[in-house]
Structure 1
Amino acid sequence: MATTTDTVHPDALDVLGDTVDAMADGRAPQQVLLLTGAPGAGKSTALDQLGRMLGERGVRVYRVVADEIGRRRPFGLMTSLLGLEEHYPPLAETPDVVMEAVEKRCAEGPVALCADDVHHADADSLALLGRLTGAVRDLPLSLVLARRALPVRETLEALAARPDVRTIEVAGLGPDGLEQLVLARLGAPPGSGLRALLAVTDGNPFHAGVLLDDLERQGRLEVADGVVVVRGGDHDVPTSVQASVRAHLALLEPGARDLLRLLAVWGRPSGVEQLAAVGGTSALGLVGAVESAVSAGIAVWTADDELAFRHDLFRDVVLADLAPPLRKLLHEACAAQLRATGGIATQILQHDTDAAEPIPPAEALRIAGSDLAHAPAQAADVLAAAAARCGAGPEADAIALARAGALAAAGQIAEAERVARERLGAHGDPAARYDLTRVALHAMVSSAHVDAALATIDDHLAGDPPQAQRTTLGHLRRWVEVLAGRGPVDRAVPPGRPGTRTGAALVPAAMDLFLAARCESALELAVEARDAREAGNSPAWADGATAPIWPAWFALYARGPEAARTLSLEARRRAQERGHGWLGPLHLFVAGEIDRVAGRWDDALAELDTGLESAALTGSGWLSRGTAGVLQMRIRRGELDGLEAAQERWRLRGLPEQFGLPVTALTTILLAEAHGRHESVTDLARESWTTALGGGRLLWALIAGPDVARVALDADDRALLRQVATDTAAVPAEEAVALAPAVDLVAAMADADPARAAAAATTYENRGHVAGALGAWEEAAVAAATSGDGEQARTCARRCTDLAASLGAAGTVRRLTARLRAQDVRLGVSGSRRRPASGWESLTPTERQIAELVGQGLTSPQIGAQLFVSPRTVQTHISHSLRKLGLRSRVELATTVARHRT
């Protein structure tokens, strides 16, 4: 779905009527509207009108307006929007609490969350809005957001670029709208002279209103011959909204102007008592000034009995005209009042910053590291302000390092790299430069910028660093090479006794052993690496940062899916507790592979899809395994529509094959095979096979050997089949228990030995490798048919089709049927019970379990905590369930669950 951008006048929102109707009843393919426009163009009017339209259709509407100082309240926009208790410092569970609140409100019916001026929103609330954008697919939820194009907020730019967000440019009033504005205000339409004057506003409704204010105050408007005319010439008419506002403000008494200056600097709506305290006067002393500002239409009372500017443009002009020394004085007074009344540190720091006070670097670092430990995006903002004030020196190095680390933790990998590199361009302490280099390298490696990472490491090594740094960078360099599949596998174990080796040294060594099919030995090293890293309490970017990921994957092939699942659940639980969200996609790719092997393909697809979605947010570039896993399961299920385009999109991205395992090349091979193009891909099969095994990646023979052998067999490429059989037989498979049956299976395929293939299938099943057994029973059936034993072929085929039914592998059944038909063996109608494609019986065990928990009223975070999966994964499972059941929301899902209980 492509991103759409529309231009709409705020007086003509009826063109969105169909969209609003669809949003109200949950039919909308896009339930997120992002309104963008210049100050005064009518965004707030449009937002209010859309809210009213939704409310008239039975949607419960929640609305909030962000303000500048509110940007310093972590999660402030979202907690205000939902009426939640604010916590400072923010709690680790705040994002989940927000998601729970949204889901609970949606359980009572359709909800619209409307937020105005989101360009002022705090960074962590913007991140939550991104999460909610993904949640609208299974909640009766709409988001309507309004923003100015400037200042640019990267999170909002990314939101606007999403295909599931409809962006709308609010272009101001059209001629008819301006006429209605004058008619409603003055009881008659504008004459030609007034039309000409209003034309200079470009339809900006706020500017038009201020212009009319000026003309009315001057007594220059009158109704004549049924239209509003302007007396006198137009030489005294202000030509800009700023000039109009200044003319308006000039009429106020000095006390009212002072009050407005104080309100502008305070930065958000305020009670009169609070403003009086800041100004060092009494609330009673401000009564006249308040009444004057409100009567003039510049200030208004909010629903919470606080004083606010009627429009941001009034505040903009007041601030622009405030002399810097006076602005500094007022910001200092605001900061002092917040300190005296227990204000939050981030807002005090902001007033200090605006007062041009130097921010104590130690205080900025303390706030970021303690108060904002669970609000990394906000921490990065605080540190950015500190960086702009602290000059150059050791303190600047510390702030840049902390800021880059916070950005990395917030999933803003590219920005983390930019900050680290920018500081590296300055002359600094060698130790600080090393740490900044490590953060930059963490970002480069996470983004799969392999060449840049290797060049950076080599440049640092060329500078003759201390031995400890040289050693660590050497380990990191090896890890980058292993990740990118460069060079041969190294099977050497790092020297030293267990318990004394670092995570940085052990992770690449463990992965090399794994790629060499020594999975059990690799598992032992991976566990040691994980424990060493945790014992060292290393930063998120140091000492083998991915160490927690690999034990579960290695255990999958060393001990089978159940042992791997236990390790995977524990690793994800630890990641949740420690807030290591950037590892989420990698954990999910491993979890998806475990479920694929175990035959839980719906669960596997949910985890891989969620992992790919999360990776798009974190900027991870190591997507080959997740992408290939999804596409290959779709191929085996026979769901071929759009897969070639998806594979081409992957190719154009130019990302590397992780660990040198040619999984996406195998996807291309399987897709061509599914389309009957066997001979066209044997060269690719041979090349990828030779490259992987030639580099010592013997694991590939056990993973892909049966598939490549089948392609060679069906293409009658005997040379390739012999090569695959010979290479696979040479793999020492005793440490890869779950994959070891591949050796016998490939040999059976080369010799057309049905008994050996069937034995391999049984071994796969006994070891929990359901996906392997599926392919093995297929080959046993084909081998039997080739040897002329039709009855045995049909018996093995039934075992294959039974497994295929449980996996939904319709593509495998079609391929088996065609291969047997070529041997004059016809399959009868299978008596196996197939899971239907829709309805209650189509739900997988996990989908049914999650549906039951939804029926009990649990939210996605609560379900995720119970099952040790991410809330996003829960959402994906729910989306699949809704699609299968033909439902539109969790409310309907809960009702369906209750009906099936009775």
Structure 2
Amino acid sequence: MATTTDTVHPDALGDLRDSVDAMADGRAPQQVLLLTGAPGAGKSTALDRVGRMLGERGVRVYRVVADEIGRRRPFGLMSTLLGLEEHYPPLAETPDLVLEAVEKRCADGPVALCADDVHHADADSLALLGRLAGTVRDLPLSLVLARRALPVRESLDALAARPDVRTLEIAGLGPGGLDELVRERLGAPPGARLRELLAVTGGNPFHAGVLLDDLRRQDRLAVVDGETVVRGDGRDVPTSVQASVRAHLALLEAPARDLLRLLAVWGRPSTVEQLAAVGGTSALALVGAVEAAVSAGIAGWNADDELAFRHDLFRDVIYADLAPPLRRLLHEACASRLRATGGIATQILQHDTDAAEPIPPAEALRIAASDLAHAPAQAADVLAGAAQRCGDGPEADAIALARAGALAAAGQIAEAERVARERLHADGDRAARYDLTRVALHAMVSSAHVGAALATIDDYLAGDPPESERTTLRHLRRWVEVLEGRGPVVRTMPSGPRSGAALVPAAMDLFLAGRCESALELAVEARDAREAGGSPPWADGATAPIWPAWFALYARGPEAARAESVEARRRAQERGQGWLGPLHLFVAGEIDRVAGRWDDTLAELDTGLEAAALTGSGWLSRATAGVLQTRIRRGELDGLETAQERWRLRGLPEQFGLPMTALTTILLAEARGRQSEVVDLARTSWTTTLDGGRLLWALLAGPDIARLALDVGDAALLRQVATDTAAVPVDEAVALAPAVDLVAAVADADPDLAAAAAAAFDHRGHAAGALSAWEEAAVAAATRGDGDRARTHARRCTELAASLGAAGTVRRLTARLRAHDVRLGVSGSRRRPATGWQSLTPTERQVAELVGKGLTSPQIGSQLFISPRTVQTHISHSLRKLDLRSRVELATTVARHTS
């Protein structure tokens, strides 16, 4: 779906009534509304009107206004919006606590979260808003956000680009809206002269309101014959909002002006007591100034009894007009007050920065470090401000490195590379240049920009760096080659220190060569080495925590791998390694595929791919192929050719040189009955992969390629696959070992050997392998003319297929047996219905029952050892199958079916 932006006048929001009705009922295709406009254009008015319309329809509306200084409170906007206790430094579980709070509120009915001025929001709250935008699929939740286009916030631009977000450009009031504004304020519509003056404002509600206030204060307006008319020639009517604001201020006494200047520098709503303490006076002494500011319409009281500007344009003009020495003085006073009261370090740093105080880089780095573990986006934001003030030299290098590293940890890969490269153009010292190069390389590698990464490494090595740097970059170069599948597998251990950077590519080479147990041991050593060394997220084998679970899958089986995967994800959350989340989900999805939990596979992989789209990861071939192949085996073929073409157009590499998407093409052609069209592709991909030493491919794809060769009558290819697979050592790939016998059974049409492979796969917990083996046992028996035995084995296959939802496998088996005059009759597997309670998978039912008990997604995820995002995916599937709109309805349905 293409993203479009509609333009609307704030007075025309009534035209959105049908859309608001759909949002209130949870029927809208886009439950997220993003309002954008210039200062004073009416964003807040529009947001309030939408919120009011939702409230009139029974939706509980929560509203918050972001402010500039609040940008320095990690998770501050979301905590304020939901009434959560704020922690500094932030807690690892804060994102889950936010999601939990939202779900609890939604359990009592539809909820709308409205946030104004989100261009001021802290970076981690913006990230959470992006995450919540995905939850509207399974919660009675609407998000209504208002922002200025400037300053640019990349996360808001990314949110606006999502197809499930509706964006509206607020273009100011139309003539009818301006008439209504005058009528509301003065009791009668404007006359011709006043309409002419109001037209100068361009429909900007704030400008128009200030103009009316000025004219009324000058006693220039009167109601005559049912119209509001302007007295005088109008030559002295203000023509800009800045002049209007200054005119307001000029009428105030000095104490009130001073109070408003202090409020503007403080940067957010404040109690009178706070302002008095900053100004070194008493609250009682400010009473008169406060009353004057409120009476003038410049300030007012918010819901928390704090003094706030009635519009942020007042603050903008007052702040801009402050003489720099006075501005610095007031920022120093604010920083001093925050220090005395234990204020948040990042806010203190912001005031110090705005006061042009020379902030020691060590102090900025210390503050950022306190945020980095669980609020890396906030840390990057803090360091961006520090970078503007620290000048050049070693301090700038340190700030840039920390900032790029924080961006990398936050999953903002492209921005991390930009920051690192920008600083690399400066004349820093060698150590700084090396570290910045490594951060840039981390970003390039994560994005699958292989050519650029290799060229950067080679350029750096050509500069004759110290041996320690040369060694590390050579290890990284090897890792890039392994990732892309460039060149043959290397089976020798690296020399020198056993760092994470050295061990990760060596471990992957062993894994690809089929030595899965040795690879697992080496991967665990790599992970422990980088953790013991305190390596930053972007260095020393950054992806080391991912691989032990994948290697364990084939070395020891899916249950051992599942335990390793759960522990790896727990450690990632504790260590603030959220950027690894999609990669962990990809491994979890593959574990579920092997174990036969195919619905869970799709939930994990789809969730991971959605998360990877935000981080910019380019290593998606295994996950993409996993989704498509699972759907093929389930017989869900609609739209798969289109999905394949979209993947092809992206031009991303096949990770590790394993031709997973090529195998997808083969399986889809087979499912369409066009096997002969892909024989050449099967032969080429098989030969190329194994010639490169990636023997694991024979165990992973051998049964599928052998079946294809058998069915098209390509005896040479079948013989080659059988010979190659038999030559693969399987003593360290226990979970895949039965594949050797299975391929031999296909080549020899041996039902006994195929049945033995099925039993061996089943014993190892490899349900997908067992399914394939029972299919080949049935076909082999039919080939030998033993129809009864073929039907017996086919029954085992269809029973297992029913539990997996493998309708595609059953259709293929039926067609293959029919070619040998063996009919399955009506004894085939029963398909799970597409809708209704019986359509829920075991995991979906388990999740639904926990929803019925009142558990939130984080609580369910903790209990089932899956991510909260995956829980949301299961709930979304359940709501669709049951034709429900909310968790409340799901809980009611669960109670009806389980009572």
Question: Normalization by structure 2: what TM-score?
Answer: 0.97
- Residue 744 of structure 1, aligned match among 741, 744, 753: 741
1-structure distance, mates of 2:564, 2:368: 32
Aligned twin of 1:667: 664
Alignment CA distance shift 1:530-1:89 (3 Å): closer
Shift of 1:157: 0.6
- Residue 700 of structure 1, aligned match among 688, 697, 701: 697
Secondary structure of the residue aligned to 1:54 is helix
Give CA-to-partner distance per residue, 1:138-193, whole Å, 9 cap, x none: 11111111111111101101111111111111111111111111222222222222
1-structure distance, mates of 2:500, 2:224: 85
- Residue 628 of structure 2, aligned match among 619, 627, 631: 631
Secondary structure of the residue aligned to 2:74 is coil
Aligned twin of 1:601: 598
2-structure distance, mates of 1:551, 1:528: 10
Alignment CA distance shift 1:534-1:288 (3 Å): closer
Aligned twin of 2:380: 380
Deviates more, 1:584-593 or 1:330-339: 330-339
Aligned twin of 2:859: 862
Aligned twin of 2:458: 458
Aligned twin of 1:893: 890
Residue 319 (structure 2) pairs with residue 319 (structure 1): yes
Give CA-to-partner distance per residue, 1:200-242, whole Å, 9 cap, x none: 2221111111111222223332333432232333432222222
1-structure distance, mates of 2:569, 2:370: 24
Residue 814 (structure 2) pairs with residue 837 (structure 1): no
Deviates more, 1:631-640 or 1:686-695: 686-695
Check the 8 A contact 2:751/2:778 in 1, yes or no. yes
Deviates more, 1:162-171 or 1:724-733: 724-733
Q: Quick one: which amino acid aligns to residue 21 of structure 1?
A: D
Shift of 1:833: 4.8
Aligned twin of 1:229: 229
Q: Quick one: which amino acid aligns to residue 781 of structure 1?
A: A
1-structure distance, mates of 2:846, 2:569: 19
1-structure distance, mates of 2:549, 2:222: 80
Shift of 1:495: 4.3
Secondary structure of the residue aligned to 2:134 is helix
Residue 560 (structure 2) pairs with residue 563 (structure 1): yes
Shift of 1:846: 2.6
2-structure distance, mates of 1:560, 1:87: 41
Aligned twin of 2:682: 685
Shift of 1:292: 1.8
Check the 8 A contact 2:372/2:576 in 1, yes or no. no
Give CA-to-partner distance per residue, 1:101-126, whole Å, 9 cap, x none: 11111111111111000000011111
Aligned twin of 1:125: 125
Deviates more, 1:246-255 or 1:639-648: 246-255
Aligned twin of 1:47: 47
Deviates more, 1:628-637 or 1:429-438: 429-438
2-structure distance, mates of 1:724, 1:179: 80
Secondary structure of the residue aligned to 1:308 is strand
Aligned twin of 1:762: 759
Deviates more, 1:768-777 or 1:814-823: 814-823
Secondary structure of the residue aligned to 1:239 is coil
Which consecutive residues of structure 1, in runs of 5 or more, have no partner in the other structure? none
Q: How does 1:120-269 map to 2 (within 5 A)?
A: 120-269=120-269
Check the 8 A contact 2:373/2:576 in 1, yes or no. no
Aligned twin of 1:546: 543
1-structure distance, mates of 2:567, 2:275: 52
Check the 8 A contact 2:510/2:518 in 1, yes or no. yes
Q: How does 1:250-289 map to 2 (within 5 A)?
A: 250-289=250-289
Aligned twin of 2:780: 783
1-structure distance, mates of 2:402, 2:142: 36
Shift of 1:851: 2.5
Aligned twin of 2:569: 572
Check the 8 A contact 1:31/1:143 in 2, yes or no. yes
Q: Quick one: which amino acid aligns to residue 624 of structure 1?
A: S
1-structure distance, mates of 2:564, 2:337: 52
Deviates more, 1:49-58 or 1:275-284: 275-284
Q: Quick one: which amino acid aligns to residue 209 of structure 1?
A: G
2-structure distance, mates of 1:374, 1:738: 37
Shift of 1:371: 5.0
Residue 645 (structure 2) pairs with residue 648 (structure 1): yes
Q: Quick one: which amino acid aligns to residue 449 of structure 1?
A: H
Secondary structure of the residue aligned to 1:136 is helix
Alignment CA distance shift 1:371-1:556 (3 Å): closer
Shift of 1:831: 5.8
1-structure distance, mates of 2:220, 2:656: 77
Deviates more, 1:532-541 or 1:624-633: 532-541
Aligned twin of 2:483: 483
Q: Quick one: which amino acid aligns to residue 477 of structure 1?
A: R
Shift of 1:15: 1.9
Deviates more, 1:544-553 or 1:476-485: 544-553
Give CA-to-partner distance per residue, 1:441-486, whole Å, 9 cap, x none: 1111111111111111112211222222211111111111001100
Give CA-to-partner distance per residue, 1:280-321, whole Å, 9 cap, x none: 333333222222221111111212222111111111111222
Q: Quick one: which amino acid aligns to residue 139 of structure 2?
A: L
2-structure distance, mates of 1:691, 1:209: 72
2-structure distance, mates of 1:770, 1:94: 37
Aligned twin of 2:407: 407
Shift of 1:412: 0.9
Secondary structure of the residue aligned to 2:736 is coil
Check the 8 A contact 2:113/2:144 in 1, yes or no. yes
Residue 16 (structure 2) pairs with residue 2 (structure 1): no
Secondary structure of the residue aligned to 2:300 is strand
- Residue 792 of structure 2, aligned match among 795, 801, 815: 795
Check the 8 A contact 1:5/1:166 in 2, yes or no. yes
- Residue 503 of structure 2, aligned match among 503, 506, 516: 506
Residue 875 (structure 2) pairs with residue 878 (structure 1): yes
Which consecutive residues of structure 2, in runs of 5 or more, have no partner in the other structure? none
Residue 816 (structure 2) pairs with residue 815 (structure 1): no
Deviates more, 1:172-181 or 1:248-257: 248-257
Secondary structure of the residue aligned to 2:572 is helix
Q: Quick one: which amino acid aligns to residue 416 of structure 2?
A: A
2-structure distance, mates of 1:708, 1:606: 27
2-structure distance, mates of 1:702, 1:71: 53
Secondary structure of the residue aligned to 1:738 is helix
- Residue 613 of structure 1, aligned match among 610, 615, 625: 610
1-structure distance, mates of 2:220, 2:527: 79
Count of residue pairs the alignment pairs up:
899
Q: How does 1:705-716 map to 2 (within 5 A)?
A: 705-716=702-713
Deviates more, 1:322-331 or 1:823-832: 823-832
Shift of 1:735: 2.2
Q: Quick one: which amino acid aligns to residue 770 of structure 1?
A: A
2-structure distance, mates of 1:264, 1:573: 43
Deviates more, 1:446-455 or 1:273-282: 273-282
Q: Quick one: which amino acid aligns to residue 533 of structure 1?
A: R
Deviates more, 1:828-837 or 1:855-864: 828-837
Q: Quick one: which amino acid aligns to residue 510 of structure 1?
A: A
Q: Quick one: which amino acid aligns to residue 636 of structure 1?
A: R
2-structure distance, mates of 1:338, 1:170: 37
Residue 716 (structure 2) pairs with residue 726 (structure 1): no
Check the 8 A contact 2:751/2:780 in 1, yes or no. yes
Check the 8 A contact 1:373/1:379 in 2, yes or no. no
Aligned twin of 1:520: 517
Q: Quick one: which amino acid aligns to residue 335 of structure 2?
A: A
Secondary structure of the residue aligned to 1:7 is strand
Secondary structure of the residue aligned to 2:163 is coil
Check the 8 A contact 1:573/1:868 in 2, yes or no. no
Shift of 1:364: 0.6
Question: Normalization by structure 1: what TM-score?
Answer: 0.97
Shift of 1:834: 4.2
